[in-house]
Structure 1
Amino acid sequence: MLDSWHDSIVQVSEFGLLSALAIGGGLWLFQKNRPQARVEQFDIKLVERADVENAIAQAEVVINQLVQESENHPAIGYLREQVNQLLLDLDRQEIKLAVTGGKSVGKTTLIEVLKSNWQATIKQKFSFYETAPLFIKASDNSETDVVTEVETSDFVLFLTNGDLTDSEFQTLQQLKAANQPVMLVFNKQDQYLPDERASILLSLQQRTQGNLVATAVSPLAIKVRKHESDGSVQEWLEQPAADIQQLTQQLSKIVTQQAQKLVWATTWRKAKLLKAEAKNWVNGVRRDRATPTIEQYQWIAAAAAFANPVPALDVLATAAINAQMVMDLGNIYQQKFSLEQAQTVAGTMGSLMLKLGLVELSTKAVSTVLKSNAVTFVAGGVVQGVSAAYLTRVAGLSLVEYFQQQEIALDSGNNLNLEKLRQTLQNVFQQNQQMAFLQGFVKQGVKRLLPEVAVEKAVG
């Protein structure tokens, strides 16, 4: 056998031998540097109990703000129940393990194997949850819904059958951004040749920074051939045992070292989500109060510009943004402004609208709509009046959008973020540029500025 092996080696060129040695060395290094079972490698924030209690308290602040601004709001009871549940979750002993991934990656089989071969060997209580398959494009929201569900679990096993696709990588990044502990499981590794398997493992390790294990939860059957003494041959298929040793070792160490902190991290995430949900309700109440305020000031601006039409765009922009509207909207959103500060904000917004070209664009858009009716178009000041109303509306909605991004009950009226305000102005302007909206808005403006024309047109 040695002679045969020696003859084979002689036939290998020097380059081929060096290549073989390099591949062998790489495989040895990969095995040597295989990620160890240290939970610190998961690159997440494992919070303490005090952090969770503080997050719950912050959610309660927002809920109390909702009670203050809308005492009988229908969501208050539900939000209070969620706070109570979070307080109970602080001492929860059961670990919730989610198994997710694309279609046919082995999620169901993995859960069955873990339940039968591993769960009984540890003292920690576990509940397993299998998500719906990702990346099947059943609907636009299906994948988002699954990821949202996963984020309420204490730990996630993310299964893949090969190197990561872009969709898989983006989902992993999303879970990481949500501070969700995730382990990538390369399943069905037995279906690859050894060199292919090593290449995929190395790629996965580099992209996940070591949060990786390889398994074969349902290995391919192996053909067994037995030669009898009489010369006959018998063949049959044998099913190898599941290869999950690396996974169970990692899970066992994680549970032993960090079970309670995993529960706290989940509760902390839920508290953050509850705070955001409560803030959305508060913003909804405030927006209902802000809308009539914006409409009041937009028609005031329209009447003023109609009565005293001016061709200068800068004057039009300044007239469209009333400092008193800034103060009134600030009061609704708990952003206190003095008159001087409100005037500064109004001037700043007018300047931004000019620099962004919004005043000129809105005037042209209003003119285009009005040209369809010669009677209203030739009436002096109508273009300026409707344009002023439109710009006032854009400015008001931009302030509302900007204020909604601020912390609840935060007095930051004198700390205006101009870059964020500029982006908000652009976004709101684009959202209100649809022709159907403009036609309806112009028609409404004409009715207010020229009621006799509107009546004549209706009679005609």
Structure 2
Amino acid sequence: MAVALRKPILVGGIALSFGLWLIDSLGESVASLDELGVWGVITLGTGVWLWQRRGAKTVELSPIASPLERETVEKTIAQTEVAIAKLETEVPALDNTAQLREGLAQLSLELDRQDIQVAVTGGKGVGKSRLVEALAAQWLPQQSPHLSLQDTPSLFIGDELKEVTPTADLLLFVTSGDLTDTEFQTLQKLKSDRQRILLIFNKQDQYLPPERAIILQKLRQRVAEILTGEDVIGISAFPAPVKVRQHQADNSVQEWMEEQKPDLSILTEKLSHIVTQEAQQLVWATTFRKVGQVKVEVKNLLNQSRRDRALPIIEQYQWIAAAAAFANPLPALDLLATAAISGQLIGDLGEIYQQKFSLSQAQSSAKTLGNLMLKLGLVELSTQTIGGILKSNAITYIAGGGVQGVSAAYLTRLAGLSLIEYFQEQEISQNTSGEQLFNLDRLGDTLQKVFQQNQRMAFLQDFVSQALGKLRLVAS
């Protein structure tokens, strides 16, 4: 096997003891587990995990965030500068870091921007254009010349949400009745991105007064966790003409349709208050969102480079684990005995993602990772599935350590890919240190997601074939 053991602490594999411990107890049942049984195991394992998590206390933060301070935006800009510097160091051949730096410098200047942009958005047919026309005629001329107003294309195509740009300082989200689930989820997403929003109930003239009050109250209750009641406003941007009937002196009756003026008084009063009292916070929040986009772009580029470097390391360790399990298929080793290989894997991946682990921390983390995989049922499920694939072919199953070796390789790969996903979610400037090395809930979710992504039968059959090729080299 063409893998050099250059690390003296590599004495076992992260999956080695998993496979050894379970193979002995499962015996001949590995070949009898059908597809329904496979998903039954993972469901059972997941259920145990979720049951154990029920007792954990969680704190739900209100989406109605406190006003954004300039210092927060400046801190985010500084973090993004650090991220760009890391990108330049780790990927020197990348040619767009100068452009990223230039864009970030421009955003720093935007913190003192005076112009305020108000945008009107919403679904199709809710009256966005009419509202823009009415505001442009009745309200905008009385405001500062630094204020602009724009319409936007329909926010939804069917039930699909179009991308919302972060350029508007204040967003008027227009609806003509109760919110759909898609609209509500969109509001939640916008608010989580610190977008200042007013929810506008337009076309209320089409309802009777009692109905208007009911709909408006329902809207306020629906969005109570993300918007204050004052930020939900009823208007009629283009009310329908009203039939007027007038009795004449000669007892004749004249009728005509009389145009109605837009009913925007509550909205224009609220808008005037916001653009005078919250102007700085509006600009800072918009800048914050734009910096966030740059930060995400940098993080994606950095993560892609790190992933490219991490995958060969995972592959190396998976074959080391396979060779060790194949050569020594004894069920005597326990989870602690695998801390060397798994700890070294965590240490090497942590070095790539700049998450600092001491040797003892890496080994402790390996034990945590192994226990999670057991609790979730991933070890048992993977081993049984691979055993079934091997037993279907008597020729490939003749080696006594075949199941152990292939399972060890597969579980090591699963652990490594999960660590990549976990580390990629970390802040670029955040280093793992101290006693709590992992967020167990998030790590468990990541393990399940990666496991499901790597459970396709075609992939497993190809992986088993590749692993057997490696193990034949060990046996020869």
Tell me if TM exceeds 0.5. Answer: yes
Q: Is the 8 A contact 1:320 1:392 kept in 2?
A: no
Q: Does 1:236 find its partner at 2:251?
A: no
Q: In the alignment, what sits opposite 1:185?
A: 200
Q: In the alignment, what sits opposite 1:450?
A: 472
Using the alignment, how far apart are the partners of 2:321 and 2:83 within structure 1? 34
Q: In the alignment, what sits opposite 1:160?
A: 175
Which of these residues, 312, 318, 331, is aligned with residue 298 of structure 1?
318
Q: In the alignment, what sits opposite 2:3?
A: none
- The structural deviation recorded for 1:124 is 4.3
Q: Does 1:424 find its partner at 2:446?
A: yes
Cα pair distance change 1:291/1:243, threshold 3 Å: same
Q: Is the 8 A contact 2:82 2:429 kept in 1?
A: no
Q: In the alignment, what sits opposite 1:408?
A: 428
Cα pair distance change 1:213/1:357, threshold 3 Å: closer
Using the alignment, how far apart are the partners of 1:410 and 1:175 within structure 2? 26
Q: Does 1:196 find its partner at 2:218?
A: no
- The structural deviation recorded for 1:118 is 1.5
Q: Is the 8 A contact 2:323 2:474 kept in 1?
A: no
Q: In the alignment, what sits opposite 2:184?
A: 169
2:189 is matched by which residue type in structure 1? Q
Q: SS of the counterpart of 1:99? A: strand
Paired residues, number: 407
Q: Which has the higher helix share?
A: 1
Q: Does 1:104 find its partner at 2:104?
A: no
Cα pair distance change 1:317/1:238, threshold 3 Å: farther
1:203 is matched by which residue type in structure 2? K
Using the alignment, how far apart are the partners of 2:177 and 2:109 within structure 1? 40
Which of these residues, 204, 208, 214, is aligned with residue 234 of structure 2?
214
Which of these residues, 352, 355, 367, is aligned with residue 335 of structure 1?
355
Q: In the alignment, what sits opposite 1:357?
A: 377
Q: Is the 8 A contact 2:247 2:254 kept in 1?
A: yes
* Higher Cα radius of gyration: 1
The one of the two structures with greater contact order (alpha-carbon pairs below 8 A, sep at least 6) is: 2
Using the alignment, how far apart are the partners of 2:442 and 2:474 within structure 1? 43
Q: In the alignment, what sits opposite 2:387?
A: 367
Cα pair distance change 1:369/1:78, threshold 3 Å: farther
Q: In the alignment, what sits opposite 1:248?
A: 268
Using the alignment, how far apart are the partners of 2:86 and 2:339 within structure 1? 34
Q: Is the 8 A contact 1:67 1:76 kept in 2?
A: yes
Q: Deviations over 1:418-445 (max 9, x none)?
A: 3332332222222211111111111111
Q: In the alignment, what sits opposite 1:399?
A: 419
Using the alignment, how far apart are the partners of 2:212 and 2:145 within structure 1? 33
Q: In the alignment, what sits opposite 1:45?
A: 66
* Structure 2: gaps spanning 5 or more residues: 1-62
Cα pair distance change 1:453/1:227, threshold 3 Å: farther
1:236 is matched by which residue type in structure 2? W
Q: SS of the counterpart of 2:395? A: helix
2:113 is matched by which residue type in structure 1? R
Q: Does 1:132 find its partner at 2:147?
A: no
- The structural deviation recorded for 1:314 is 4.3
- The structural deviation recorded for 1:399 is 1.5
Q: In the alignment, what sits opposite 2:101?
A: 80
Cα pair distance change 1:368/1:447, threshold 3 Å: same
Using the alignment, how far apart are the partners of 2:238 and 2:422 within structure 1? 53
Using the alignment, how far apart are the partners of 2:297 and 2:245 within structure 1? 63
Which of these residues, 288, 293, 304, is aligned with residue 284 of structure 1?
304
1:100 is matched by which residue type in structure 2? T
Cα pair distance change 1:413/1:431, threshold 3 Å: farther
Q: SS of the counterpart of 2:126? A: coil
* Structure 1: gaps spanning 5 or more residues: 1-41, 455-460
Q: In the alignment, what sits opposite 2:34?
A: none
1:433 is matched by which residue type in structure 2? Q
1:126 is matched by which residue type in structure 2? L
Cα pair distance change 1:356/1:166, threshold 3 Å: closer
Using the alignment, how far apart are the partners of 1:118 and 1:363 within structure 2? 69
Q: Deviations over 1:59-112 (max 9, x none)?
A: 111111111111122442342232023123212222121212222110011111
Using the alignment, how far apart are the partners of 1:202 and 1:65 within structure 2? 50
Q: Deviations over 1:153-191 (max 9, x none)?
A: 211111111233333333222222222111111111111
Q: Is the 8 A contact 1:402 1:421 kept in 2?
A: yes
Q: In the alignment, what sits opposite 2:408?
A: 388
Q: Is the 8 A contact 2:245 2:253 kept in 1?
A: yes
2:151 is matched by which residue type in structure 1? E
Using the alignment, how far apart are the partners of 1:329 and 1:311 within structure 2? 28
Using the alignment, how far apart are the partners of 1:351 and 1:201 within structure 2? 51
Q: Is the 8 A contact 1:298 1:389 kept in 2?
A: yes
Q: TM-score, normalised by structure 2?
A: 0.79
